[in-house]
Amino acid sequence: MPEWLVLTLAMVAACALVVIITLLRHRSADDDEDPSETPDVIEYMTMWIGVVYAIVLGLAIAGVWEARGMAQDHVRAEAQALHEISERVRVYPADVRDRIREDVNSYVGHVVDTEWKVMADSGAVTERGDEMMQRIRRDVTDYQPATDFEAQAYQPLVDQAAAADQARAARADSTEPTMPGVVWFGLIVGAVVTIGMILALQIRRTPRELILAALFSALIAFLLFLIWDFDAPFSRGLAATADPFLTLFPGAGD
Protein backbone atom coordinates (compact mmCIF):
# COMPACT_ATOMS: atom_id res chain seq x y z
CA MET A 1 0.00 0.00 0.00
CA PRO A 2 1.47 3.41 -0.97
CA GLU A 3 2.56 5.56 1.93
CA TRP A 4 0.47 8.53 0.80
CA LEU A 5 -2.59 6.28 0.94
CA VAL A 6 -1.66 5.14 4.46
CA LEU A 7 -1.33 8.78 5.54
CA THR A 8 -4.65 9.72 3.94
CA LEU A 9 -6.48 6.82 5.57
CA ALA A 10 -4.96 7.59 8.98
CA MET A 11 -5.98 11.25 8.84
CA VAL A 12 -9.47 10.47 7.56
CA ALA A 13 -9.89 7.81 10.25
CA ALA A 14 -8.84 10.26 12.97
CA CYS A 15 -11.29 12.88 11.75
CA ALA A 16 -14.10 10.34 11.37
CA LEU A 17 -13.50 8.99 14.86
CA VAL A 18 -13.79 12.42 16.45
CA VAL A 19 -16.90 13.26 14.45
CA ILE A 20 -18.62 9.96 15.26
CA ILE A 21 -17.86 10.14 18.99
CA THR A 22 -18.99 13.75 19.16
CA LEU A 23 -22.26 13.04 17.34
CA LEU A 24 -22.97 10.02 19.54
CA ARG A 25 -22.35 12.10 22.67
CA HIS A 26 -24.57 14.83 21.31
CA ARG A 27 -27.45 12.41 20.77
CA SER A 28 -27.09 10.78 24.20
CA ALA A 29 -26.73 14.06 26.10
CA ASP A 30 -29.55 15.33 28.28
CA ASP A 31 -31.63 18.16 26.91
CA ASP A 32 -30.86 20.39 29.88
CA GLU A 33 -27.11 19.75 29.85
CA ASP A 34 -25.07 22.91 29.36
CA PRO A 35 -21.75 22.30 27.52
CA SER A 36 -20.43 25.65 28.73
CA GLU A 37 -20.28 24.33 32.29
CA THR A 38 -17.08 22.37 31.74
CA PRO A 39 -15.01 22.62 34.94
CA ASP A 40 -12.01 24.91 34.73
CA VAL A 41 -9.73 22.15 36.01
CA ILE A 42 -10.52 20.02 32.95
CA GLU A 43 -9.66 22.89 30.63
CA TYR A 44 -6.42 23.46 32.55
CA MET A 45 -5.48 19.77 32.41
CA THR A 46 -6.32 19.59 28.72
CA MET A 47 -4.05 22.52 28.00
CA TRP A 48 -1.10 21.03 29.86
CA ILE A 49 -1.61 17.56 28.42
CA GLY A 50 -1.56 19.11 24.95
CA VAL A 51 1.63 21.05 25.72
CA VAL A 52 3.44 18.02 27.16
CA TYR A 53 2.37 15.80 24.28
CA ALA A 54 3.49 18.42 21.75
CA ILE A 55 6.93 18.46 23.36
CA VAL A 56 7.12 14.66 23.24
CA LEU A 57 6.10 14.66 19.58
CA GLY A 58 8.71 17.29 18.80
CA LEU A 59 11.46 15.32 20.51
CA ALA A 60 10.41 12.12 18.72
CA ILE A 61 10.44 13.84 15.33
CA ALA A 62 13.84 15.40 16.05
CA GLY A 63 15.21 12.01 17.13
CA VAL A 64 14.12 10.09 14.05
CA TRP A 65 15.18 12.93 11.75
CA GLU A 66 18.63 12.96 13.33
CA ALA A 67 18.85 9.17 12.94
CA ARG A 68 17.97 9.48 9.27
CA GLY A 69 20.63 12.17 8.81
CA MET A 70 23.23 9.99 10.51
CA ALA A 71 22.29 7.06 8.27
CA GLN A 72 22.84 9.25 5.21
CA ASP A 73 26.18 10.39 6.65
CA HIS A 74 27.26 6.75 7.02
CA VAL A 75 26.43 6.14 3.36
CA ARG A 76 28.36 9.24 2.34
CA ALA A 77 31.39 8.26 4.43
CA GLU A 78 31.43 4.73 3.00
CA ALA A 79 31.16 5.95 -0.59
CA GLN A 80 33.88 8.57 -0.05
CA ALA A 81 36.28 6.06 1.51
CA LEU A 82 35.79 3.63 -1.38
CA HIS A 83 36.32 6.45 -3.85
CA GLU A 84 39.57 7.39 -2.12
CA ILE A 85 40.75 3.79 -2.38
CA SER A 86 39.91 3.67 -6.07
CA GLU A 87 41.79 6.93 -6.72
CA ARG A 88 44.84 6.47 -4.49
CA VAL A 89 45.56 2.96 -5.71
CA ARG A 90 46.77 4.39 -9.02
CA VAL A 91 50.36 4.40 -7.67
CA TYR A 92 50.33 0.60 -7.50
CA PRO A 93 51.26 -1.69 -10.40
CA ALA A 94 48.63 -2.03 -13.11
CA ASP A 95 47.55 -5.55 -12.21
CA VAL A 96 47.12 -4.71 -8.49
CA ARG A 97 45.45 -1.39 -9.26
CA ASP A 98 42.98 -2.94 -11.69
CA ARG A 99 42.12 -5.78 -9.30
CA ILE A 100 41.40 -3.44 -6.41
CA ARG A 101 39.35 -1.07 -8.56
CA GLU A 102 37.39 -3.97 -10.00
CA ASP A 103 36.60 -5.26 -6.51
CA VAL A 104 35.55 -1.77 -5.37
CA ASN A 105 33.29 -1.31 -8.40
CA SER A 106 31.79 -4.77 -7.90
CA TYR A 107 31.07 -3.97 -4.26
CA VAL A 108 29.46 -0.63 -5.08
CA GLY A 109 27.35 -2.26 -7.78
CA HIS A 110 26.20 -4.91 -5.32
CA VAL A 111 25.27 -2.28 -2.73
CA VAL A 112 23.31 -0.15 -5.18
CA ASP A 113 21.59 -2.89 -7.17
CA THR A 114 21.03 -5.63 -4.57
CA GLU A 115 21.83 -4.70 -0.99
CA TRP A 116 19.79 -1.51 -0.96
CA LYS A 117 16.63 -3.45 -1.79
CA VAL A 118 17.44 -6.03 0.89
CA MET A 119 17.89 -3.27 3.49
CA ALA A 120 14.53 -1.78 2.53
CA ASP A 121 12.74 -5.13 2.67
CA SER A 122 14.37 -6.91 5.61
CA GLY A 123 16.30 -4.21 7.47
CA ALA A 124 19.69 -5.91 7.16
CA VAL A 125 22.74 -5.94 4.94
CA THR A 126 23.78 -8.98 2.92
CA GLU A 127 26.44 -11.55 3.71
CA ARG A 128 27.66 -11.20 0.13
CA GLY A 129 28.36 -7.53 0.78
CA ASP A 130 30.33 -8.42 3.92
CA GLU A 131 32.44 -10.85 1.91
CA MET A 132 33.10 -8.28 -0.82
CA MET A 133 34.13 -5.67 1.72
CA GLN A 134 36.56 -8.10 3.35
CA ARG A 135 38.01 -8.87 -0.07
CA ILE A 136 38.70 -5.16 -0.61
CA ARG A 137 40.45 -4.96 2.76
CA ARG A 138 42.56 -8.01 1.93
CA ASP A 139 43.47 -6.55 -1.47
CA VAL A 140 44.69 -3.38 0.20
CA THR A 141 46.42 -4.79 3.27
CA ASP A 142 48.04 -7.87 1.70
CA TYR A 143 49.97 -5.95 -0.92
CA GLN A 144 53.66 -5.41 -0.15
CA PRO A 145 54.91 -2.05 -1.46
CA ALA A 146 57.87 -2.39 -3.79
CA THR A 147 59.00 1.25 -3.77
CA ASP A 148 59.10 4.14 -1.31
CA PHE A 149 56.35 5.88 -3.28
CA GLU A 150 54.07 2.86 -2.91
CA ALA A 151 54.99 2.59 0.78
CA GLN A 152 53.86 6.18 1.34
CA ALA A 153 50.48 5.38 -0.22
CA TYR A 154 50.04 2.08 1.62
CA GLN A 155 49.01 3.31 5.07
CA PRO A 156 46.47 5.88 3.81
CA LEU A 157 44.91 3.13 1.69
CA VAL A 158 44.70 0.83 4.72
CA ASP A 159 43.08 3.65 6.70
CA GLN A 160 40.52 4.27 3.96
CA ALA A 161 39.69 0.56 3.76
CA ALA A 162 39.15 0.51 7.52
CA ALA A 163 37.00 3.65 7.27
CA ALA A 164 34.86 2.05 4.57
CA ASP A 165 34.39 -1.09 6.66
CA GLN A 166 33.50 0.99 9.71
CA ALA A 167 30.99 3.05 7.73
CA ARG A 168 29.44 -0.14 6.39
CA ALA A 169 29.02 -1.47 9.93
CA ALA A 170 27.41 1.82 10.98
CA ARG A 171 25.09 1.64 7.96
CA ALA A 172 24.11 -1.90 8.96
CA ASP A 173 23.28 -0.70 12.47
CA SER A 174 21.10 2.08 11.02
CA THR A 175 18.85 -0.23 9.02
CA GLU A 176 16.63 -1.13 11.99
CA PRO A 177 13.94 1.19 13.39
CA THR A 178 15.29 3.73 15.86
CA MET A 179 12.19 4.17 18.06
CA PRO A 180 11.76 1.55 20.83
CA GLY A 181 8.39 -0.11 21.23
CA VAL A 182 7.81 1.53 24.61
CA VAL A 183 8.16 4.97 22.99
CA TRP A 184 5.58 4.07 20.37
CA PHE A 185 3.29 2.91 23.16
CA GLY A 186 3.68 6.26 24.87
CA LEU A 187 3.06 8.20 21.65
CA ILE A 188 -0.12 6.30 20.82
CA VAL A 189 -1.47 6.40 24.37
CA GLY A 190 -0.62 10.10 24.52
CA ALA A 191 -2.56 10.73 21.32
CA VAL A 192 -5.59 8.89 22.70
CA VAL A 193 -5.45 10.80 25.99
CA THR A 194 -4.97 14.16 24.27
CA ILE A 195 -7.88 13.66 21.89
CA GLY A 196 -9.96 12.17 24.70
CA MET A 197 -9.42 15.25 26.85
CA ILE A 198 -10.59 17.42 23.97
CA LEU A 199 -13.77 15.37 23.77
CA ALA A 200 -14.12 15.75 27.53
CA LEU A 201 -14.51 19.48 26.93
CA GLN A 202 -17.86 18.64 25.34
CA ILE A 203 -16.97 19.72 21.82
CA ARG A 204 -20.40 19.69 20.23
CA ARG A 205 -21.69 23.21 20.50
CA THR A 206 -20.93 24.46 16.97
CA PRO A 207 -19.77 22.95 13.67
CA ARG A 208 -16.69 25.17 13.92
CA GLU A 209 -15.55 23.49 17.14
CA LEU A 210 -16.20 20.08 15.63
CA ILE A 211 -14.12 20.93 12.56
CA LEU A 212 -11.26 22.24 14.71
CA ALA A 213 -11.29 19.08 16.85
CA ALA A 214 -11.25 16.90 13.72
CA LEU A 215 -8.37 18.87 12.19
CA PHE A 216 -6.43 18.66 15.45
CA SER A 217 -6.85 14.88 15.44
CA ALA A 218 -5.77 14.72 11.79
CA LEU A 219 -2.65 16.75 12.68
CA ILE A 220 -1.71 14.28 15.40
CA ALA A 221 -2.22 11.41 12.94
CA PHE A 222 0.03 13.19 10.43
CA LEU A 223 2.79 13.75 12.99
CA LEU A 224 2.66 10.11 14.11
CA PHE A 225 2.87 9.05 10.46
CA LEU A 226 5.86 11.36 10.00
CA ILE A 227 7.65 9.72 12.93
CA TRP A 228 6.84 6.27 11.56
CA ASP A 229 8.11 7.25 8.10
CA PHE A 230 11.42 8.57 9.47
CA ASP A 231 11.80 5.67 11.90
CA ALA A 232 13.33 3.28 9.33
CA PRO A 233 16.04 5.33 7.56
CA PHE A 234 16.38 3.00 4.57
CA SER A 235 12.89 1.56 4.19
CA ARG A 236 10.25 4.23 3.66
CA GLY A 237 9.38 7.29 1.61
CA LEU A 238 11.80 9.82 3.11
CA ALA A 239 14.61 7.28 3.35
CA ALA A 240 18.35 7.71 3.02
CA THR A 241 19.46 7.24 -0.58
CA ALA A 242 22.36 5.67 -2.43
CA ASP A 243 23.11 8.96 -4.21
CA PRO A 244 26.66 9.25 -2.77
CA PHE A 245 27.58 5.92 -4.40
CA LEU A 246 25.96 6.92 -7.69
CA THR A 247 27.69 10.30 -7.65
CA LEU A 248 31.20 8.97 -6.99
CA PHE A 249 30.72 5.82 -9.07
CA PRO A 250 28.53 6.91 -12.01
CA GLY A 251 28.40 3.45 -13.57
CA ALA A 252 27.36 1.64 -10.39
CA GLY A 253 23.64 1.55 -11.16
CA ASP A 254 24.01 0.32 -14.75
Mean pLDDT of the chain: 84
What local confidence, expressed as pLDDT, does residue 156 receive? 93
pLDDT band at 12 (very low <50, low <70, confident <90, very high): confident
What local confidence, expressed as pLDDT, does residue 134 receive? 95
Q: What is the mean pLDDT of residues 148-159?
A: 92
Chain segment 39-87, per-residue pLDDT in tens: 666 777 778 888 888 899 999 999 888 988 999 999 999 999 999 999 9
Whether the pLDDT of residue 26 is over 80: the answer is no
Whether the pLDDT of residue 132 is over 60: the answer is yes
What local confidence, expressed as pLDDT, does residue 203 receive? 58
CA distance linking residue 212 with residue 229, whole number of Å:
25
AA identity, residue 223 = L
What local confidence, expressed as pLDDT, does residue 217 receive? 85
pLDDT band at 37 (very low <50, low <70, confident <90, very high): low
Q: What is the 3-state secondary structure (H, E, C) of the chain?
A: CCHHHHHHHHHHHHHHHHHHHHHHHHHHCCCCCCHHHCCHHHHHHHHHHHHHHHHHHHHHHHHHHHHHHHHHHHHHHHHHHHHHHHHHHHHCCHHHHHHHHHHHHHHHHHHHHHHHHHHHHHCCCCHHHHHHHHHHHHHHHCCCCCCHHHHHHHHHHHHHHHHHHHHHHHHHHCCCCCCCHHHHHHHHHHHHHHHHHHHHCCCCCCHHHHHHHHHHHHHHHHHHHHHHHHHCCCCCCCCCCCHHHHHHCCCCCC
Q: What is the mean pLDDT of residues 126-142?
A: 94
Whether the pLDDT of residue 253 is over 60: the answer is no
What local confidence, expressed as pLDDT, does residue 35 receive? 55
Whether the pLDDT of residue 34 is over 60: the answer is no
CA distance linking residue 228 with residue 235, whole number of Å:
11
Specify the pTM. Answer: 0.78
What local confidence, expressed as pLDDT, does residue 138 receive? 93
AA identity, residue 170 = A
